[in-house]
Amino acid sequence: AQSVSQHNHHVILSEAASLELGCNYSYGGTVNLFWYVQYPGQHLQLLLKYFSGDPLVKGIKGFEAEFIKSKFSFNLRKPSVQWSDTAEYFCAVRGNTDKLIFGTGTRLQVFP
Amino acid sequence: ETGVTQSPTHLIKTRGQQVTLRCSSQSGHNTVSWYQQALGQGPQFIFQYYREEENGRGNFPPRFSGLQFPNYSSELNVNALELDDSALYLCASSLEGRGQFYEQYFGPGTRLTVT
């Protein structure tokens, strides 16, 4: 069965700090990978996605993620966070079924 | 602006009752997926509808059922509500076909509270 693990449940950073959120998945076949963000009081929004090609994917708001197939990982990064990045971040994977499997989420708090 | 809308925004029901949640997909999308997001958890896949037929189901009992209409809008029905059904219910629409999968766009959700 497919599964997604997000090891960081709660991350607290100061503005301008660098961010890396871990995401590992378990599935041996071809995958589509996603990072979604949920700002306070708002709906889930797509940050970035990987379908194929360049394993380094750039998304909105300065976020990027790297797909490392050998490690079954798709970690999210941002060189310098802002207070407005405070949100819940979800990694999701789709394998050979039609459903998205989400991780439990990482709550990011950025202090000015 | 994702274009996916859901109604109602909030709902309070009593254990044993039935509820219907509604979703209008984004223009041009033909597929709707429903998710349950319990407090502090990631969304859990309930089922997906493609061209008015169920096209995949997660680990949810049969009392969770759905419909998709010709205009691709969708309903989620839950019978015999239980306290554990209290959650945010998310609808997501996407365009699928010809072996291609595209990203899902989420609506704001319906917050269901079962007392």
Q: Is the pLDDT of residue A29 over 90?
A: no
Q: Are A12 and A85 in contact (CB under 8 A)?
A: no
- List of chain B residues whose C-beta atoms are within 8 Å of the C-beta of residue A36: 106
pLDDT at B101: 65
pLDDT tens digits along A49-87? 999 899 999 999 999 999 999 999 999 999 999 999 999
Q: Are B90 and B44 in contact (CB under 8 A)?
A: no
- pLDDT class of B28 with cuts at 50, 70, 90: confident
Neighbours of B94 (CB within 10 A): 21
Whether residue A100 and residue B106 make contact (CB cut-off 8 A), yes or no, is no
Whether residue B48 and residue A105 make contact (CB cut-off 8 A), yes or no, is no
Which distant-in-sequence residues (6+ apart) come within 8 Å of A66 by Cβ? A55, A56, A57, A73, A74, A75, A77
Closest residue of B to A49, CA-based?
B103
pLDDT at A59: 94
Closest residue of B to A34, CA-based?
B103
- List of chain B residues whose C-beta atoms are within 8 Å of the C-beta of residue A92: 42
- List of chain B residues whose C-beta atoms are within 8 Å of the C-beta of residue A99: 33, 45, 48, 56, 58
Angle at B71 between CA B65 and CA B75, to 5 degrees: 20
Return the sign of the alpha-carbon dihedral for residues A97, B56, B71, B86: negative
pLDDT at A98: 67
- pLDDT class of A109 with cuts at 50, 70, 90: very high
Q: What is the mean pLDDT of chain A?
A: 93
Q: Concatenate the DSSP letters of all residues of chain A into one string.
A: --EEE---SEEEEETT--EEE--EEE-SS--EEEEEEE-TTS--EEEEEE-SS-SEEE-GGG-EEEEEGGGTEEEEEESS--GGG-EEEEEEEE-SSS-PEE---EEEEEE-
Closest residue of B to A105, CA-based?
B42
Of the candidates B103, B107, B96, B87, the one whose C-alpha atom is nearest the C-alpha of residue B24 is B107
pLDDT at A1: 73
Query: Average pLDDT of A20-45?
Result: 92
Cis peptide before B8 (omega within 30 of 0): yes
CB-based contact (8 Å) between B65 and chain A? no
Q: Is the pLDDT of residue A35 over 90?
A: yes
pLDDT at A83: 96
Return the sign of the alpha-carbon dihedral for residues A31, A37, A38, A44: negative
